[in-house]
Amino acid sequence: MKYEQLAKDIIENVGGKDNVNSVVHCVTRLRFKLKDESKANTEVLENMDGVVTVRKSGGQYQVVIGNHVADVYKAVVAEGNFDAKKPVDADGADEEDKGNLFDRFIDLISGIFTPILGILAASGMIKGLNVLFVSLGWLEEASGTYQILNATGDALFYFLPILLGYTAMKKFGGTPFVGMVIAMALVYPALEGIPDTAEPLYTLFAGTVIESPVYIEFFGIPVILMTYSMSVIPIIIAAFFAAKLEGFLTKVIPSVVRMFLVPMFTLLIIIPLTFIVIGPIATWASQILGEGTLWIYDLSPVIAGLFLGGLWLVLVMFGLHWGLVPIAINNIQVAGADIILPLTFVHSFALVGAVLAVWIKTNNQKTKTLSAPASISAIFGVTEPAMYGIALPLKRPFIFTLISSAIGGAIIGLFDTRQYIYGGLGVFKFPSFINPEEGLNTAFMGSVIAAVIGTILAFLLTYFFGGFNKKEEKSTSEETSQPAEEKIEQNVKNEVIESPLNGEVKSLAEISDSAFSSGALGKGVAIQPTEGKLISPVSGTVSALFGTHHAIGIETERGAELLIHIGMDTVQLDGEFFKAHVSQGDKVEKGQLLIEFDIEAIEKAGYEVITPVVITNHDKYKVIEIEAQGKVQIDDPLIMLENEK
């Protein structure tokens, strides 16, 4: 059998036949459910010819093969004497097994942030450089230049909920602009400024840990105001409930008035609900956290450092850190120094170390490109690009960052390092630790030691245990992403791939499926189709046609390998609403009808129809350029490929 040896090697390195509960395949990967994932030898698999990479998601151990996955699957089933079960789609898990809560939460957050990673990193760089210019004396904070640069770098972070309102609502299947309006209400200046300009009407739970001043009411219901700018979790929770409510309203409201009544009722219900419910919960949780941290510090500064240093980034994600900021400010004003915020100081340096290790080790070009600016901005204390763009999606660097930050916090607590002025982030926070009377004392040196150890520890943990694909880049004629038996000719020719659909061109980053949006399955674009006809954009051979007819692979006459995947999760439709006009192995001509699909029925069933068009052997080309933007018609130039030779 052609793939017999590859199948044997794969089974051996997933822990053997006895470690496999089941195996299925999708368009590009084998999906194992293993009894014990720790028995799998991930590093060996990732370095194996015929394996692109390995991913763990949704309770599945995924061995990415590429276009030849169907043949490899047959060999694996035969070699292991497994039951050939129905394949699942490219997004991962069956309904009954979506992985543990932590994995699902991180996948959700990173998926929501994926579309804004580039601009997130750019804004962090601008913000960090502006702080550097002031520190070097090149700019004054009162100057117009500083103010404009500050607005340029800080705008995304201040209004981050608005962008997340769009991406989160889209992720949950709702109308993105409804999510944006919900976020706009949360950061509405007139509401955010009320606590600074008005006296409270009354105070709830006076004298308790959750004492909360009330400045406004909503139909007699008290509203506890908090700062939502730069927050993450509140808008994501609001978007989740908004998408569910919108779906319900769409079903019960007549179509003739649905266009304006659905968003109107969604906003009228969700926005007050967010202010009344999410706000108080976050506020009270912050206050309890602040009191709890002071209690732990009195018990043991080292334990407090471990606790607060290790959890600081998680607290920031949920907006709970605001409960500590007023305590810190009050400590500085009343006692002359704060003992709380110094415990969180090392988190930005730990991120720097982790992301630098990612930058050195990763073979993913997109991740490598984002890592450099993200690490630089983290040095200056702007951690969002590094956390949301790199560490959190990769999971292990995020965990190692938390561990290293916890160790750093413990060191800060051990040295009893204190903060004497409020302000400054990252490297610019060091001056705040200088004792006005004693100068650079032992406590100050403790902050330096903690930062150095936190950086080095996070770097080493991520470098050696980050789970990266260590497969070396090869400059020979070998194609390492395919089995040795199926090496294709390296002399691919220049080619223009035309649009196979009528619709609107989208970036791959806009796709909710991380396998496509990250570029792991190939480079290219996505199309939001307006007509349910997929036309062959090239002349070639159908190299793969999935059984449910929602995805097709084509090898062109000039050597390009093309994958077209109609919609997200559409494999679950079992071929309903799809009609294939070709079979695997067929020769096709440019302009030939490949697949028909019912857009309205697919969307009504709850699935996206956005369609990625990717070049899976993109590494054969020196240049891959997207030729189309906005609306596109069948036969319009879409992707231009240039050979290295």
What is the set of active-site residues?
A: 26, 565
Residue the block writes with tokens 């004396």: 137
Cα 396–Cα 399–Cα 403 angle in degrees, nearest 5: 135
What are the C-alpha distances in Å from 81 to residues 21, 45, 74, 76, 196?
12, 20, 10, 8, 70
Task: Find the DSSP H helices in 391-484.
Answer: 392-394, 396-415, 442-465
CB within 8 A of 287, min separation 6: which ones? 209, 210, 211, 212, 323
Helix axis angle, 144-158 to 160-171, nearest 10°: 30
Strand duo 523-529 + 561-565: pairing = unpaired
Strand duo 60-64 + 202-204: pairing = unpaired
Task: Find the DSSP H helices in 319-425.
Answer: 325-335, 347-361, 365-379, 384-386, 392-394, 396-415
> What are the backbone dihedrals phi and psi of residue 324, each rounded to the nearest 5 degrees, phi first?
-95, -25
CB within 8 A of 522, min separation 6: which ones? 563, 614, 615, 616, 617, 618
Strand duo 540-545 + 533-535: pairing = unpaired
Measured between alpha carbons, how far is 475 from 617 in angstroms, rounded to an integer?
15
CB within 8 A of 645, min separation 6: which ones? 491
| Contact indicator for 614, 527 with CB cutoff of 8 Å | no
Residue 183 structure tokens:
């976020």
The amino acid sitting at 155 is A
Residue 165 structure tokens:
């309102």
Question: SS3 for 336?
Answer: coil
CB within 8 A of 48, min separation 6: which ones? 6, 9, 10, 13
| Contact indicator for 388, 120 with CB cutoff of 8 Å | yes
> Helix/strand/coil (H, E, C) string of 79-139?
HHCCCCCCCCCCCCCECCECCCHHHHHHHHHHHHHHHHHHHHHHHHHHHHHHHHHHHCCCC
Query: How many other C-beta atoms can be found within 10 angstroms of the C-beta atom of residue 589?
Result: 10
Residue the block writes with tokens 């077209």: 564
DSSP state for residue 632 in the 8-state scheme: E
Residue 626 structure tokens:
């997207």
Closest listed residue to residue 62, CA positions, set 96, 104, 91: 91
Query: How many other C-beta atoms can be found within 10 angstroms of the C-beta atom of residue 233?
Result: 17
> What are the backbone dihedrals phi and psi of residue 144, each rounded to the nearest 5 degrees, phi first?
-65, -35
